[in-house]
Amino acid sequence: MSKKVALVTGANKGLGLETAKQLVEAGVTVIAASRNLENGKKAVESLGLDIEVVQLDVDDNASIDAVYDYINNKFGKLDILVNNAGIQIESEDWAVNTSADITEDLLRKTLDTNFFSIVKLTNKLLPLIRLSDAGRIVNLSSILGSLTLHSNTESPIYGSKLFAYNTSKTALNSYTIHLAAALANTNIKVNSAHPGWVKTDLGTDAAPMSVVDGAKTSVDLALLAEDGVTGKYIHLGQELPW
């Protein structure tokens, strides 16, 4: 198949849905993955675009295996993987430090979804991505994963220290660096994307960026040219410090 095939996780709303929309409009065949299949179908129907929908719970091994089989049997390859699904369950107030009283359960739940499940899903799908002429893996990180900025008292994010969420994004950034190095001699590029502070359920209405603009970084990294970057931490074309 000459047409690119993309899987976008957490695509039933917000950034994931908008990313799926923009990729379809760019001529990509998109598979929108949603934990709740009916919610995913309703969201995609509201766009009026030709987007496939699959059920995917990134915390469930059987669900991941089923998605692998679906893509393998129908397309025989995967060109683009956008790891968009993620959670923040610590606090509605982002301007706090939870490190002194974080519970082990909350920390594990956050890391399971935002880090371990992404590694598991990506490594499962990697054989299909290796079959692409130009494989692209986009990990949805956050500027809140930057250790450089968190350790700088002058940084605008210094006061936002949700330990579980931030740590999960730092770990995800580490995975990006390591996986990009492992695939350096292939046609696969791996990057971390910071979408910005976006008006979503997670970002709230206080955020300054629209969902349309928030999806642009992921889409740009998904459609990188052959001479594009790999192993980088990007927001709207600009590199962020790890």
C-alpha to C-alpha distances, 26 to 23, 53, 203, nearest whole angstrom: 5, 18, 26
165 classed as catalytic: yes
**Which of these is catalytic: 68, 70, 158, 165?**
165
Residue 58 and residue 109 in contact, taking contact as beta carbons nearer than 8 Å: no
E strands present in the chain? 5-8, 29-34, 52-55, 80-83, 136-140, 189-193, 233-235, 238-239
- Residue type (1 letter), 189: K
In this structure, the strands spanning 29-34 and 52-55 are: parallel
**Residue numbers annotated as active site:** 165
